[in-house]
Structure formats: C-alpha cells, structure tokens
Structure 1
C-alpha cells in the first residue's frame, strides 16, 4: 500500500510538473507572439450589439421583401452586336508583342484585354501574356493554368494573330533576360493610360528594328478615353467573350453552384469525387443564393487606418504593420476614425456586412456563399455573420479536399473559382471596392444581373450612431440602397470600361 501511495504521488508530481512546463512554454510563446496575432484572434467582439440583438430577434423568412430576389428590370441596353464582329486582321504582322503582367487575377485580366488592343494598334502578333509572380500571394500560376488558351485564340482569330510562345529565333526574350540589364527591345516607359498614338510613335519603331517588343510594366497602360470605337469594342470582346476559365475551374464551379441551388441532394461527396451536375434534371426549383465578396484582409484593415473594435492592442498592431509595409505613406492615418467612417473610407467588418444584408431583407434562410481569401480575425470575426446567416458556405464547406487539390495554395485559381460562382449567383454583394469588385460589377452589368453596391458613406454614418434603433437603421438602409441594386450607370471620363461597360460595350435597344 505504501508503495502504491508513493507511486501515485510520484505520478501526480510528474503530471503537475509537465503541466507547469507546458504553461511556461505557452506563456513564453504568447510573450513572443506579435501583437498583430493577438489582436486578430482575441479581440473580434461585436461592435453593434444593440442592432445585432434586434436583427437576430426579428429574422424570420416572412420579413423578406417579395422583390428582393426579383431580376433587374429591362433598362434598354444590350451587349453590342458589333462586339462579336471583327474589324479585320492585317495580312502582315509587324512583329511579336510581349507583355508582362503583375497584380492579382482581375488586374491581370484587364491587362490581357489591353494587350490585345495594343497588339491591334501595332498590327503585331501577340504572345500569350506572361503573368508575374504575385508578391502578396506568391502565386506563380500562368495564363494557361487560369484561362482557356485555345478558346482565347479562337475567339480572337479574326482580330489579331496570337501565338502561345515565341519562335526559336526569339526564344532569348524572357523575363530573366530583361531582369539582368537594360535591353533595347524592352519598353518600360509606357505611361499610365497611354493613348493609342503613344504606342504607334514609341513601340512601332522597336518592332520595326528588332521584330519584337516587350512591354514591362504594363498594368493600366492604355487609356479608356478618346479611343476608336472598334478598339473599345475589341477590349469588350476580350473581357466578356474571349476570357473563360480552364475546364476544371468551370466544372468545379458548376458543381458548387448546383450544391448551393440544391443543398439537400448535392452535398459535397465524402470521398472527394467530383460530380458533374450540369446535365441533371431536378424537378425541384433551384434555390436562390447570394455571393458575398468580403474583402476584409489584414492589408486592407491596416491600410484603411480605421478602428475595428480591437482596442489599443489592435490599433498598435495595425499601426506597426502599416509602418512596416508602407513606411508612413498611408494618408488615411492622419484622419480620425469618425472622419474616415463618415466619408465611407472604412471597409465593413463581417458583422457590419451581416447587418447590412439583414436590413435589406435577407434572413436566416438565405443561402450565402462567401467569396473571400483570408479574413482578418479568422473565425472570430466571421462568427457574427454566421449567426445571422447560418446557411453560409464557402469553398471549403462545399468542396472536398480532393476537389480542391488542384487549386490549393493558388490564389489566382481560388479567385477564378469565386469569380465563376459570383457570375452564376442570383445576387452579388461586394463589401469593399477593389479589382474583384470592379471586374464583377462590370461583368454583371454587361449581363444585366443584380448586384448590390453598398453605400459606404451612408453606412459609415449609421454605424457611428450607437443609439439608432433597428427599425430606423433598416429604414435608412433600404431607402439608401433603392438605386444601388445593379442599375446601369454610364461610363464617365477616365472611368474603366471594364467596370462601366456602357456605352462602349453596350448599345440601346
């Protein structure tokens, strides 16, 4: 008995010692962890508890306005028929045109459209654009891995000549070649929003002398104003017809759309086998769903210089991150949070987006697909949105590991999947402006699809009022968004045709 007591005592002491060691290690690790990590995961508490409580209490399917899902009324604009017609391809090419595109998927998409137009201006043969490695997401995906190259070439075959790679005599013209020294075949002084005449005056001589010209950098290097009509229509043709995603992205996108529309019978397979539901005839009506593009990552949170309710620790962490990344070049940091919010310059948190959707009439029966990369604050930040919309899904919840294996860790392909699903949704909502927002707003305008654009200035002011009742908040939101459901807006000077496709890409009638 004495032996057993001693043995148990030794065992107890050993366990206690182990626990103390673990606690010490945990404390040490916490002390070494950056304030940014702590603030992201520990301080994401609701900021609008009064609104949230009433929104959760009043969320019933019967509250949903009958017209919330109704399609847009006919606005008298259609995609121009001339977009599909070719203005003719020159008999002789002036040489090969290379472009190097940086940025994310949608910035590169716009660059591809501009590259086709510049090739047309120069009567050049376009080499399939080279996509630079994204410095933020570290994604090395090529054009061929994202877009259907054969479809791209076929749609544009009567407009310009396109080759997948340079012939052998020009094989020296590579990214590495231009990185090592100044080269006469590289054009690196193209101004932002250059005119068509700039290219004929500055790039044509390079083509004539060397048979090849490589333009880098190329993002936003072609103007939107004072362009020939046929050139604008060609850019529209590239964006809305020639650029389609690779087959496996479309197949996975179709499968996830069907799982959103028919949730009970088409859940993600347990064993990771991709099922093609595109030809299935389901007697039930498909359920409608909303895609929410929630752009609330750490970069945006820090750059905005806004307060997100994480207290002093979060403010300090974001300020430190902002200083490291932008070295004090963020102008927003000179304004107070109240000033920024009242001007609509603060990105909405998941909680605030949820309150917006609830105020517009969406309820806890709404199917919500979350199109987003890494959300600042993770699950803690998303918890309030999930409470309001328990049927919220994303790529991970809808697709199996095997289905996601081909796109895992590839930001461009993940964004392409979200883009595809967004274009097939009944309603699209983008929480903050950006390249994804701009591209989808323009594409859905072209297709006359419903798109809700949050009134950021109005919402910023409403969220500053901590005494506002849910009834007043809801009334203000509904009235402030009456004309923000995707109604067509004509392009103004200096605006992008990819965001505002009318009147360049669309015609009356």
Structure 2
C-alpha cells in the first residue's frame, strides 16, 4: 500500500510548477523515457527521493512500461487509476445529479433559473430506477476535418474542411491521401449522428431508450443531430437535465464539461462511443474494471455497410447484430504493449 495525498506536506510546499519553471532543480527529472522499466525508476528516481524526500517527474505521460513489471506494481497502478483518483466534489455532485435525473425522469427539474440540486437517491432506489445509455458523440469540427472523410455536405463542405485541416495541421494528416471510399472501407471515418443512430436502432434500442448525449460541440450544430433526436426522443444532455445555475461552475470550461460527461458515462448501464479516442479508451478500461457494459462499434464492418446505398434494413440489421456479438462488454485480455488502463484484464483482476 502507498499513501496518496491530495496536496504536498508543508515541508515540500516549495515544490511547485513555478519553482521548476524558474531554473534547473536537482529534484526535477526530465529524462524519464516513454514506457521505462521499473529498474529505470529504481536507478534514477529512488536516489533523488532518498536524497531530497521528493522527486518531480515532468513530463509524465506513459512513462512506465505496461509489460514485464512485478505484479504488485501492476496492482498498485490499477488501484491508483481506478480507485484512488477521483473527481473534485463539484464534478461528482453535478454528475450524480444528472445520473439521478436520468434514472428518475419524472423527478427531473424543468428549466428554471432557481432550480437547486436534488438530493441523492439511495442505493435501493437506484436499483429500482430506470436504465440509460450514454452515447459519446465525438463529432466536432476538428474530428471531421482531421478524418478527411466526406460527410455529405457537398463540394463547399469538403473545401471548407480541407482549408481548416491545412490551417491546423499544415498537411500532416495521413488520411488526406486516401479517398472517402478507401477511408470508409478501412473503418477510419467517425460515425455521424445519423449513422450512430442507425447502429443503435439495429442493435435493438428504440424511441423508449433513455439516451444521454456526451458531447462538446457537434459539427453542424442542432441541425446535424436532429435525425438522431427524432430516432431517440428521450435523448438528454447536460443542458436539458440541469439549470444554468447548476452548470455555472463548469459552463464554458471544456475540461470540466468533459469531466461531467465522463462521470455520467461511467455510471451508465451501457456506454457507446461514435469513434475511438482518449475518452473512449479511458472509459472502456474503467468500465471493464467495474464490470460494466461497453459497446465497441465495429468500424471495419460499418464503413462498407454505410457505403452500400441499396442494402435492405433487414440485411443491415442482421450484419450489425452478427458483427457485434463479441463487442458488447465481453472482457478482453490485454495484449503486449497495450495500455493497462484501456485493457485492465488480467493485470488488474484477481485470479480465481
């Protein structure tokens, strides 16, 4: 066991971001390689800890290997990532409020400037309450442009996205060398709101499904998700479930809004993302650790299916169901070099 603190002890309060930004410091380690071994830390970090009592490793993104580590280290990192790390109280409070309203639609507060947060419902009530699905719709302008896919907006849209792509990435987008047909056959195009709606319908969800939309800014705005909303009239999001006062602390702050969506996604009965990405990967692993169901769209299957303009609904539905039999929450064992945070089995699990 390792004690985890929320802030540094007083004797180490000098170890701050500002302190390391103003000079070369003996307690800062800047040379940590990506996916370093445990031995590297014993040889390079432990001596600093022993000499100064503290070590600041920066940057620290994927600095510890996923493979060939002692089982106790793997167990510890699982416990830290999935149990010790927690959102700040305001995020948990807003998130829990949204979850309660999704599970108990009849108790949802209507839009009002003076609404207050509902009290939490107890565990017994939660068991009796309704279920809901979270759709992480990753379909913003950056995603649309970077994918280099055609989203049906005609020549004007293609030119506008190409110009935007050039400004942001200066031609460093691998997908731009392929045609839309090639990209879709390779499963490299994000699902549009209409496509994810068809996927959900084919999998058996319907207009009685309580759907929560976890999204920042949808490319094309409300007009782009109108079809999805027609298919799932019980679809909600942060702004439809909470008042402006309740969201005041997170409004306009993308990272905090995403944190609220993450919290609600983690608490949902089923989670599905329209395309792979950091949030999808993090939730896939976190929900697997908690034994919760996550649907992983089969992009290689769906790309060609959506290109087929003459396919009958029955044929489409049959293909979707067959293609997702093993993509609906079944535990997947981590392969070599894969992230333990995306695939926590078997490293984070107890062996029977």
Query: Aligning the two structures, in what range does the TM-score lie when normalised by the shorter sequence?
Result: over 0.9
SS for the counterpart of 1:393 is: coil
Aligned to 1:195: 37
Shift of 1:268: 4.0
**TM-score, normalised by the number of residues in structure 1:** 0.65
Structure 2 counterpart of 1:430: 273
Which residue, 47, 59, 80 being the options, matches 1:238? 80
Question: 1: distance between equivalents of 2:118 and 2:47?
Answer: 53
Alignment-derived partner of residue 61 in structure 1: none
> How far off is 1:287 after superposition?
2.1
> Structure 1, residues 213-269: CA drift from partner, whole Å, max 9, x if none?
322211111111011100100011112221222333223222222221221233346
Cα distance between partner residues in 1 of 2:6 and 2:281: 29
Alignment root-mean-square deviation, CA: 2.2
Equivalent position SS for 1:507? coil
Partner of 2:68: 226
1:430-487: per-residue Cα shift (whole Å, max 9, x none)?
1111111111111211122111110011001101111111111111111111111010
Distance change in 2, residues 1:167/1:250 (3 Å) = closer
Residues 360 and 210 of structure 1, relative CA distance in 2, 3 Å threshold: same
Give the aligned partner of residue 274 of structure 1.
Answer: 117
For 1:92, the equivalent position in structure 2 comes to none
User: Deviations for 1:279-308, whole angstroms, at most 9, x for unmatched residues?
Assistant: 497699422211001111122111111111
Cα 1:318–1:166 shift into 2, 3 Å: farther
What secondary structure, in the 3-state scheme, does the structure 2 residue paired with 1:437 have? helix
* Deviation of the 1:496 alpha carbon: 1.0
1:379 Cα shift? 0.7
Alignment partners' CA distance in 2, 1:171 and 1:364: 55
User: Aligned match of 2:89 in 247, 260, 265?
Assistant: 247
Change (3 A) 1:440 1:402: same
Distance 1:180 1:315, change over 3 A: farther
C-alpha displacement of 1:384: 1.3
Q: TM-score, normalised by structure 2?
A: 0.93
Q: Which residue of 2 aligns with 1:288?
A: 131
Residues in 2 aligned to 1:233 and 1:269: alpha-carbon distance in whole angstroms? 45
CA distance in 2 between counterparts of 1:238 and 1:372 reads 27
Structure with more relative contact order (C-alpha pairs < 8 Å, separation 6 or more): 1
Residue number in structure 1 paired with 2:260 = 417
The alignment status of 1:473 with 2:316, answered yes or no, reads yes
Q: How many residues align?
A: 351
Q: Is the 8 A contact 1:251 1:276 kept in 2?
A: no
- For residues 104 and 13 of structure 2, the distance between their equivalents in structure 1, rounded to whole angstroms, comes to 50
Per-residue CA deviations over 1:292-333 (Å, capped at 9, x if unaligned) read 011111221111111111222222222222222222211111
CA contact (8 A) 2:108 2:241 kept: no
CA distance in 2, matches of 1:388, 1:446: 32
1:491–1:500 contact (8 Å) kept in structure 2: yes
Q: Tell whether the 8 Å contact from 1:290 to 1:425 is kept in structure 2 after alignment.
A: yes
Residue ranges of structure 1 left out of the alignment (5+ in a row): 1-85, 87-158
In structure 1, the partner of 2:55 is: 213
**Which of 199, 204, 212 is the aligned partner of 1:361?**
204
Could you say what secondary structure the match of 1:292 adopts? Answer: strand
Q: Which moved more, 1:407-416 or 1:468-477?
A: 407-416
Corresponding residue number in structure 1 for 2:172: 329
Asked which structure has the greater CA Rg, the reply is: 1
Residues 305 and 412 from structure 1, CA distance in 2 versus in 1: closer, same or farther, beyond 3 angstroms?
same
Structure 1 CA distance for aligned equivalents of residues 32 and 177 of structure 2? 33
1-side partners of 2:340 and 2:37: how far apart?
A: 15
Alignment correspondent of 1:34: none
Whole-angstrom distance in 2 between the partners of 1:220 and 1:312: 41
Match of 1:261 among 99, 103, 112: 103
Equivalent residue number for residue 165 of structure 1: 8
Q: Give runs of aligned pairs for residues 466-505 of structure 1, distance below 5 A.
A: 466-505=309-348
Look up the SS of the partner of 1:245 in the other structure.
coil
Distance in 2 between residues matched to 1:429 and 1:490, nearest whole Å:
19
Which residue number in structure 2 is paired with residue 341 of structure 1?
A: 184
The answer for unaligned runs of 5 or more in structure 2 is none
In 1, distance between residues paired with 2:87 and 2:55?
Answer: 27
Provide the rounded CA distance (Å) in 1 between the counterparts of 2:43 and 2:180: 48
TM-aligned CA deviation for residue 184 of structure 1: 4.1
* Selected match of 1:304 from 128, 147, 152: 147
